[in-house]
Amino acid sequence: MKNPRSAVFSLFFLIMLCLQLFATQPVAIAGETIRINGSGSGLDMMMPLMDAYLKSKKGITFEIEKPLGSSGAIKALIAGYLDIAVSSKPLKPEETAQGCKMRYYGKTPLTIVTNATNTKKNIATKELEDIYSGLTRKWPNGDTIRPVLRPVEDIDTKILKGFSPGMAEAINKANVQRGMIIAVTDPESNDAVAKTIGSIGASGLTGVLTGKWKLNVLSLNGVMPSTKTLSDGSYPLAKEVNFVVTEKLSEAATKFLNFIYSEKGRAIAEKSGVFVKTDAQ
């Protein structure tokens, strides 16, 4: 009959041996996380790209929170909280000095949108100027016009102001009027337009095509916003969709970017409302 003490000692020795063996083995990584944020219009494009990528890549997780906007995402990238920032604005000298690098991709039409109940189909430059300046306050059906503005420094505001001298003046007037609706992010703007009777605002085409909002997209001076009309120059309003990275870009994030720039990735982006530049690298 075995000595009980001997049996206990043997069991203890076996447990310690197993622990030592496990301790010397490399820990298996369950998966890799790619952290992305940025412009709401850019993130709208990223959703179908991420879905397509996950179908062929196992063990990858995407971490994407509420849109921080281009500037906020670049700050988070510099601080090490993101792997990729999707930006609609050019880099500032100080951002470049802190290691940020812009990788150009494409652009999406900046569309003029209204609440879905609005039956209007087209808007002319002068009509748009009169609406934002406050000269025109009612739609033909009698509804009060409610412009949804973006912050003064937002890229959408700058694009609209650059459309015409009259539009720049009109938006300046709109920003000093009381009771105006101001939306900070792209999703907030689309949500406000979708929920407000009489509203009018601007949205990247990506948000219209891939978003959850029901919006009425207007043609501008008779031209409908699309990747085709943007590429041939007939539609004038465009919003950049580019990527900002640093030298700390992980291998997993690098592979995902390679997919985005691939033929398959570009086709998905085009379907999502982005005109991908032929020289994108």
Tens of pLDDT, residue by residue over 21-74, are 333 333 323 359 999 999 999 999 999 999 999 998 888 999 999 999 999 999
Inter-residue contact 151 to 182 (CB < 8 Å): yes
Q: Which residues of 88-110 are buried (b: 16+ CB within 10 A; e: fewer)?
A: bbebeeebeeeebebbebbbbbb
Would you state the pLDDT for residue 19? Answer: 36
Alpha-carbon distance of 68 to 94, in angstroms, equals: 19
Average pLDDT of the residues of the chain: 89
pTM for this model (two decimals): 0.85
- The yes-or-no verdict on residue 279 having pLDDT over 90 is no
pLDDT at 52: 96
**Which residues face 36 on adjacent strands?**
84
CATH of domain 32-106+240-276: 3.40.190.10
What CATH number does the domain located at 108-231 have?
Answer: 3.40.190.10
Residues of the chain with CATH 3.40.190.10: 32-106+240-276, 108-231
Angstrom CA distances, 275 to 97, 154, 189, 201, stand at 29, 21, 22, 22
